[in-house]
Amino acid sequence: MSAIVAIVGRPNVGKSTFFNRLIKRREAIVDAVSGVTRDRHYGKSDWNGREFSVIDTGGYVKGSDDVFEAEIDKQVELAIDEADVIIFMVDVETGITGMDEDVANLLRRVKKPVLLAVNKVDNNKRAEDAVEFYSLGLGDYFTIASTNGSGTGDLLDALVEVLPEKEPNRDEELPRFAVVGRPNAGKSSFINALIGEERYIVTDVAGTTRDSIDTKYNRFGFEFNLVDTAGIRRKSKVHEDLEFYSVMRSVRAIEHSDVCIIILDATRGFDGQVQNIFWLAQRNNKGIVILVNKWDLVEDKETNTIKQYTEKIKESMAPFIDVPIVFMSVLTKQRIFKAIETAVQVYENRSRKIQTRKFNDIMLPLIENYPPPAYKGKYVKIKFCTQLPTPYPQFAFFCNLPQYVRDPYKRFLENKLRESFDFSGVPISIFMRKK
């Protein structure tokens, strides 16, 4: 589980450039889907061996600056609620504006670490100009230029210093299943139906949920914590930017979970926001189950058969399509226990350990029949493979020229692995190592 860092500030101060610089350091190496950044506003980064998640709040506001003025307080408040550390970015070219002062007023009251980053400082004259930002009352500042990266090292050193300590190993704790999805998809109703009591207030106002709540739950002789991205929201909060809100909320819930139960509304489909949540879970190597709720409301079931609907979802998820999809209705309680049974199965798949000998006995003959294609006239020979001792499935294949094994061949190995062992609902990482 990594800490969450939010970048806040008014428009055009360079938040997104800084954000891109942070995540590319990592994303280029880590993202399983090469060359695909599905969500511009959320990413993983690391510095000096500490991993953290980064959220660019600016990416969520659409429209002009005056629209932003109304939104910025909400954005900052949400960042304050959800993030562990806040980077407040300002622009040395324009100096302090009224909007900067508003944000600073909010941040001065916060009990969390706030780092003030003065951007666009790319010469000595501008470094002198930055002194005025002391008057925001947030203490020392860091001068950076996010376009060329100067000064970002010092800022990140300070960031790593104030990140919360890593939580102790949770091995003894119960598995955690997070129930996530866009507002009003039926998350709270699903948990109410399972628990059999009105534990959560369910209304038709999208976004009445606020704090994530854990519920101990026992079914099929298996005990786990259900984490609802739920709770009750003050009415004044209901109008805030829901997309930003549910992504922030989902990041927190997903990072704390072992399996993500993603609920979507059958009448709306696997839309952009649900896809963002899906990629978030996939990028964090969590187990995933997709529940299509409100299936009873889908009219014209003839043209909209389960098979066609499933294929449509899988098209959007590619290349990671080995994910169970359960069609259900919370209202009629149809298949809600099937949903939990599937989540338990995915948890077990994620914890699966394969004996090295058995793994080699199955994979090496396959590799011999279909070796990696020659690259630049060089032949790759894979001699040995093993599962790595990590909380989720990662596999190392040892060979003479690891740098010549391309992504399509890794996908071939992953597909063969999935055919031989049940890793349904679980992202798999494959590494080529020098033998």
Is residue 295 marked as binding?
A: yes
Helix H segments across 225-375?
A: 242-255, 272-283, 306-317, 336-350, 356-369
Is residue 57 marked as binding?
A: yes
Is residue 184 marked as binding?
A: yes
Phi, psi of 417 (to 5 degrees): -60, -45
Look at phi and psi of residue 357 and say left if phi exceeds 0, alpha if psi is from -120 to 50, else beta: alpha
Is residue 10 marked as binding?
A: yes
Is residue 272 marked as binding?
A: no
Pairing status of strand 213-219 against strand 176-180: unpaired
Is residue 12 marked as binding?
A: yes
Is residue 186 marked as binding?
A: yes
Is residue 151 marked as binding?
A: no
CB environment 323-333: b (16+ within 10 A), e (fewer): bbbbbbbbeee
Is residue 193 marked as binding?
A: no
Q: Are the CB atoms for 41 and 62 separated by under 8 Å?
A: no
Is residue 396 marked as binding?
A: no
Q: What share of the chain is helix, strand, coil (3-state, %, to 5)?
A: 40, 20, 40
Is residue 250 marked as binding?
A: no
> How big is the CA angle at 40 (ends 108 and 211), to the nearest 5 degrees?
50
Is residue 221 marked as binding?
A: no
Is residue 183 marked as binding?
A: yes
Pairing status of strand 141-143 against strand 114-119: parallel
Is residue 294 marked as binding?
A: yes
Is residue 15 marked as binding?
A: yes
Please give the Cα distance from 320 to 232 (Å, whole number). Answer: 34
Is residue 214 marked as binding?
A: no
Phi, psi of 119 (to 5 degrees): -95, 165
Is residue 120 marked as binding?
A: yes
Look at phi and psi of residue 103 and say left if phi exceeds 0, alpha if psi is from -120 to 50, else beta: alpha
Is residue 285 marked as binding?
A: no
Is residue 35 marked as binding?
A: no
Please give the Cα distance from 74 to 115 (Å, whole number). Answer: 19
Is residue 44 marked as binding?
A: no
Is residue 59 marked as binding?
A: yes
Is residue 34 marked as binding?
A: no
Is residue 196 marked as binding?
A: no
Phi, psi of 192 (to 5 degrees): -60, -45
Is residue 245 marked as binding?
A: no
What's the chain's length in residues?
435
- Helix (H, G, I), strand (E, B), or coil: what is residue 216? strand
Alpha-carbon distances of 255 from 5, 245, 340, 348, rounded to whole Å = 13, 16, 20, 18
State the number of CA atoms in the 13 A half-sphere of 276 facing the CB: 19
Is residue 45 marked as binding?
A: no
Is residue 218 marked as binding?
A: no
Q: Are the CB atoms for 83 and 4 separated by under 8 Å?
A: yes
Annotated binding site for GTP: 9-16, 56-60, 119-122, 181-188, 228-232, 293-296
Annotated binding site: 9-16, 56-60, 119-122, 181-188, 228-232, 293-296
